[in-house]
Structure 1
């Protein structure tokens, strides 16, 4: 069992105690968002630090529906 810390831009996103360590280039899901493993650093025999890059959130702008407004 190893402690895995998922880090993005020096911010710890998640710490987990797992048996498997993700490989470089693998896709993982953290806090409901997909992330790609950039680098895996093994600090000691029980601690692993994983650098990830999360997908950017794309917010779509909702168009106003003027047909439902009261016409004067």
Structure 2
């Protein structure tokens, strides 16, 4: 089975609800793609599987804070 040539994008659960912080992700064989949903034809960041797992584990464990938390 071959992977589809067009990524299946989904909005990240960590995106803000105001509509101004829209991050979309797409799983790929090599890792995860990330883009700004307001600029669908704009730049895409590719992250390998290991780096993505470390990043999401840190988020789940509360090791990373959002930008609003850093302003306090």
TM-score, length basis structure 1: 0.27
TM-score by length of 2: 0.27
The structure with the largest helix share of the pair is 2
Q: Which has the higher strand share?
A: 1
